[in-house]
Each structure stands twice: as C-alpha cells, then as structure tokens.
Amino acid sequence: MSDPLQIRNIGKVSRSWLAEAGIVTLEDLRAQGSVSTFRIIKSQQPRASLNLLWALEGAVQNMDWRDLTEEHKRRLRKELVLKQLQLVPR
C-alpha cells in the first residue's frame, strides 16, 4: 500500500480533498480512476480546476502532470464530458 503523503503531484489541499472523497492511497486513486475521482472532488469542491485532473492522471501514470501531452489531456476532457452526459436525464 502506498503512503498517502507520497502520491505524486498531490499537494496539501488536494490531499485533503482526496481524503474527503475517500481516496487516501495511490491504489485507491487507481481503483477509482482519475476522471471519476475528479468528478467526485469537483462536486464537493467547485473551485477544483482541470489542473487537479492533470495531477491525478499524472499520479496514476507515475509522471509529472506537466508532462501529459495535449492529446492525453484532450482524451481526459472527452472522458469527463462523456461521464457527465451519462448523468443528464433525457
């Protein structure tokens, strides 16, 4: 199990948001997925920005969030929109 203080790209504020969402280890984050985790946090913390999504994905991929390609970020945004649309009543 990973140390919650050692999740890459995650600072103090983001770590507290993750804890509020029930995510305390890297394994928790990987199990939930970066987009789903971002959606949970965003629903609780409206000021959370896409930079948090990049940080979460960087943690899952074990890379600095600034190294995510624009294509990777585009795929994440698309996944985020698709997941949001699934919740919209028809």
> For position 34, what pLDDT does the model report?
97
Contact 61, 80 (CB under 8 A): no
pLDDT in tens, 29-82: 999 999 999 999 999 999 999 999 999 999 999 999 999 999 999 999 999 999
Nearest to 34 by CA among 79, 88, 84: 79
Give the residue with greater pLDDT, 46 vs 87. 46
Q: Which residues have C-beta within 8 Å of that of residue 53, sequence separation ≥ 6?
A: 34, 35, 38, 76, 80
What domains are defined for the chain?
4-86 (1.10.150.20)
Nearest to 63 by CA among 26, 14, 32: 26
